[in-house]
Amino acid sequence: MLKVLVLYANPVRASFGSALHEQVVSGLMSRGHAVDDCDLYRESFDPILREDERIDYHDTNRNRREVFSYTDRVLAAEALILIYPVWNEGFPAILKGFFDRVFIPGVSFKIDAEGRVEPNLSNLKRLSAVCTYGASRPITFLLGDPPKRVVKRLIRSMAKRSVPCDYLACYGMDQATDEDRKRFLDKVDRAFGSW
């Protein structure tokens, strides 16, 4: 059994993203995992990094003041799953703001006396992203697929050891059929079936 933090970022309750979110959460719970379901929109997470937070960013005695409830959740997680739509080749602003405000020194990484960055998510054993793109895979590839790089390189590097990282993306959502969506739901279910 894993303590799984699910970070979900989609404002539309009737979206395909919502169906993915529900399937991931219910599937994990049915397999006995402890799920901390963090729906950023329903929790009204404030993504704006304020001046005082930026000033205190490197001060690990002060930088969690405004977001301690979220930093505690991240540090308690043994697995992290991100569920989001890709907009303008990036994360929804609320999820990007979560990274800016919560993945801070003393939480996701440490900075030693010489200024070297060290990973700090020592509990993390698994990482996954489940996302949808309006653009096709070839177009996204040509644009460099920034969200995939952030998940598979940056966030993955925050674990103290190499962790398995699944990146489950449904490209071409703007043209997807009901059958395409069903196939992707099945793929997601199979991926988490081994957890």
Tell whether the model's pLDDT for residue 161 goes beyond 80.
no
Q: What is the pLDDT of residue 57?
A: 94
Q: What is the mean pLDDT of the chain?
A: 93
Tell whether the model's pLDDT for residue 178 goes beyond 80.
yes
Tell whether the model's pLDDT for residue 115 goes beyond 90.
no
Tell whether the model's pLDDT for residue 82 goes beyond 80.
yes
Q: What is the pLDDT of residues 95-104, one digit of tens each?
A: 999 999 999 9
Angle value at C-alpha 154, between 21 and 184, nearest 5 degrees? 30
Q: Where are the domains of the chain?
A: 3-193
d(CA 95, CA 83): 10
Structure tokens at 95: 């999820």
- The domain 3-193: what is its CATH number? 3.40.50.360
d(CA 56, CA 76): 23
Model pTM greater than 0.95? no
- Please give the sequence-ordered ranges of beta strands (E in DSSP) within 19-146, or none if there are none: 34-39, 79-86, 109-111, 117-119, 126-133
Buried b (16+ CB within 10 A) or exposed e, 40-52: beeeebebeeeee
